[in-house]
Every structure is written in C-alpha cells, then in structure tokens.
C-alpha cells in the first residue's frame, strides 16, 4: 500500500462515500416514495417532523442562488472547499482527524450533488421543541458536516493539549514554572 493510501485514509474515503450515498438515498426516499415535496410535512414525533424545503443558499441559507451564475458559483465554491478537505484528509494520519474530515467531505459531496443536479439542496429534517426550532431544517449531509466540524474543533482544542502535557510541554498559552 502506498504512503498516500494508508488504512486510516482508506477508511476515511469509505466513510465519506457512505455519508454521500446515504444522504442521497434518504433524499430520494423522502422526495420519491414519501412524496414529501407534494405533502410538504409529515409529523413523526412530538419533537421531529419531515418538512420539505429547498435550500438555494449555503450554510444557514446564506448566499442564496436565484440565478444560474450564482448557482454555478456556489457549486464551484463548495467543490473547492470539498477538494481542500480531501487534500487535508489525505495528509492526516490520526483516525480522529480523518474521521471528522471524512464526515465533512461526505456531507459536502451529498449537498454538491443536489446543487449540481437541482440548483438547490433538499432539506427535510425538522427538529423542534414545541414551536421552538433550535436548528434550521437540515439533512444527513448537513448533520455530517456539523458533527465533523465539532470533531475537528474538539480534537484541536483537547487532544493536542493533552499530547503536549504528556510530553512535558506546557499546553499552548500556559507557562510551566521551573
């Protein structure tokens, strides 16, 4: 096996592919057999519904793409970000970072496919507490991206400081007294 395709990186690529495939399969199911586009909303649990939305923007609905130029600009921008994440993932060695980046990459690929094929991203997961909605309506790709970012942030804040302490170095921002 070459140095580029280590076991952890291959697992990362498999995770990314799995996330993208599951995301697309669930979107197909909610739009196809469940006919969520026509129904609009399906009440499932007191705190979770399926609600069809078309997100023409990117994260949190920002930068809405109402024309073809902006649509393709967003496709190019998100594809560029996905490429950066892929390169970053292929440079990492630790499974923790690779897993977080794989979630981000898989989610990005799922949403890029929607935007490329449809011009918008299909969102459907509607978590709420009564009328309070702590999140916008989202999809599996969005959830994977969010979880991946949290993993990367947590590891960057916690794991490296722990490693520094184990090697006898002071964590960033702290001094060791002699």
Q: Which two tokens stand for residue 169?
A: 């170095």
Say which residue the tokens 């299909």 belong to.
122
Q: What is the CA radius of gyration of the chain?
A: 19
Closest-CA residue to 136 (of 70, 75, 61, 64): 61
CA pair distance 49, 68, nearest whole angstrom:
31
Half-sphere exposure of 57 (CA within 13 A, CB side): 9
Rounded to 5 degrees, what are φ and ψ at 4?
A: -70, -45
123 is catalytic: yes
Task: From 106, 123, 144, select the one nearest 15 (Cα to Cα).
Answer: 106
Out of 23, 114, 123, 126, the active site residue is: 123
Please say if 177 is a catalytic residue: no
Catalytic residue among 142, 161, 164, 177: 142
In contact, 94 and 8? CB cutoff 8 Å: yes
Q: 142: exposed, middle or buried (C-beta count within 10 Å: 0-12, 13-18, 19+)? A: buried
Residues marked as catalytic? 123, 142
């Amino acid at each position: 096996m070459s140095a580029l395709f280590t076991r952890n990186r291959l697992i990362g690529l498999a995770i990314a592919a799995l996330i993208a495939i599951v995301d697309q399969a669930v979107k197909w199911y909610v739009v196809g057999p469940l006919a969520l586009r026509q129904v609009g909303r399906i009440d499932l649990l007191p705190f979770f519904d399926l609600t069809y939305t078309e997100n023409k923007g990117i994260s949190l609905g920002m930068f809405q793409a109402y024309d073809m130029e902006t649509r393709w600009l967003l496709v190019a921008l998100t594809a560029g970000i996905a490429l950066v994440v892929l390169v970053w993932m292929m440079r990492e060695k630790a499974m923790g970072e690779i897993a977080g980046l794989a979630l981000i990459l898989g989610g990005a690929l799922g949403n890029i496919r929607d935007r490329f094929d449809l011009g918008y991203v299909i969102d459907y997961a509607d978590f709420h507490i009564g009328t309070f909605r702590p999140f916008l309506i989202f999809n599996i790709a969005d959830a994977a991206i969010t979880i991946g970012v949290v993993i990367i942030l947590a590891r960057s804040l916690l794991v490296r400081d722990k490693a520094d302490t184990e090697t006898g170095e002071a964590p960033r921002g702290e001094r060791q007294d002699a």
